[in-house]
Each structure stands twice: as structure tokens, then as C-alpha cells.
Amino acid sequence: QLSQRAAMAFRHQRGPLLFPLLPVAFLSASYAFVGVISQFRSRTVPRSAASAETAKATFGQLFNGDSRPIVLYDGDCNMCNSAVDVALQKDPDGRKLRFSALQSEVGRELLVFCGREAKDLSSMLVVKPDGSCLAQSDAVVFVGQQLDGSRVLQGLSKVAESVLPKPLRDGAYKVIAKNRYNVLGRRKELRLGQDGMDDRFVQKDSKSAPAV
């Protein structure tokens, strides 16, 4: 009789007892589903359009005789292109930096060279002649420090790098990057270069300028 009462009590209480486990079960099922999808995509979608060998060859070609770092920017983003305009103005002789859109052929290959997916638009990058790649706030402060035409931007970049912890800088960068299309919108056409500045914008067939 006691066992029958216990069984009845369990049946009466099992709904409330199992309810807290429902979110766990749902999450477990979701993770399993995502895992299956990821495995399927890994079989059917190539990791990147450019191979590591091609990316390495492109890097070597671009820095053969030209030591200027290459800034990879989002060519669809108006805010990003405005920042490129400022950098061009404050480096009027083009001695410090070159530029290429992340979406360009060169941009995709350099993304792969830096160990990222060819379609990764999550961050601007700076590719340096020694093969190192800077991303997020590190890329921003590096570019700012190269702008000899603006002591203000140079000073602010140096202060930001030395005073603000990297996690804080990167956190602010991610917020801005995530909302960049909401600030100034998108361009109607992808920006791959600018008239009269062929030496500043890197294309696949660009010839390296003399090192300065």
C-alpha cells in the first residue's frame, strides 16, 4: 500500500520535477542539431575560396619591393570608407599605408593568409610586411599612429594603446563594427580603388611601388 502511494505521488509530482529539465533538454537537442548541420556544411562547403599556398604567394608578391602595410577595409561600409578617406588625407604622400577591400580578390587571399575565412568581414585588418596581421582595435591604433599628417590622431592612437586595456578596446570595436551599417549605411557599389591613387589601392595585378 505504501509503495502504491509512493508511485501515485511520483506520478503526481513528475510534471513539476521534470519541468526544470525541459530547457536543458531543449538546449541539448539544439546543440546536437547545430552539430549535425556543421558537419554537413563542412563536407559540402569549402573552407575558403583561396588556398593557403595561393594566399602565401599573393602575400609575397604584394610585399616584394614594397614594405608599406596593407589595410583591409569593408568596401561596402560608408563609415569604413570615410575612415579610409581620412587615412588617405593624413598620409598625403602615400608613404605609410596601402589599402584593399576585404571583399576584393586580394582581400580574400590576405584574409586566408592571416588564418581567417575568405568571407570574414568581422574586422578590419592590417597586414604587415613581416607577415603579422593586426585585427580589431590593434589595427585601428596602428593605422592612427601612421598618420603623420595628424598629430591629434597619432596622439590619441598612442594614448589608446598605452592606457586602455586591449579587452576594453576590442569590446568597443566590436560594438561599433556590429552596428557600422546602421550608422552611415552601405555604398551602392563596392569600393575597390580611387581615381589617381592606383599606387595606394592594391589590386591583384598591382605592381609594387619602390620601398620608402
Rg (CA), the chain: 25
Q: How many residues does the chain have?
A: 212
pTM exceeding the 0.85 threshold for the entire prediction: no
Better-predicted residue by pLDDT, 170 or 37: 170
What is the DSSP secondary-structure string of the chain? -HHHHHHHHHHHHHHHHHTTHHHHHHHHHHHHHHHHHHHHHHHHS-S-SS-HHHHHHHHHHHTSS----EEEE-TTBHHHHHHHHHHHHHSTT--S-EEEETTSHHHHHHHHHTTS-TT--SS-EEE-TTS-EEEHHHHHHHHHHH-TT-HHHHHHHHHHHHHS-HHHHHHHHHHHHHTHHHHH-B-SS-----TT-TTTB--TTPPPPPP-
pLDDT in tens, 39-87: 333 333 344 446 889 999 999 999 999 999 999 999 999 999 999 999 9
In the chain, % of residues over pLDDT 90 = 61
pLDDT in tens, 76-101: 999 999 999 999 999 988 999 999 99
In the chain, % of residues over pLDDT 70 = 73
Report how far residue 73's alpha carbon sits from residue 47's, in angstroms, rounded to the nearest whole number.
21
pLDDT in tens, 99-127: 999 999 999 999 999 999 999 999 999 99
Mean per-residue pLDDT over the chain, rounded: 79
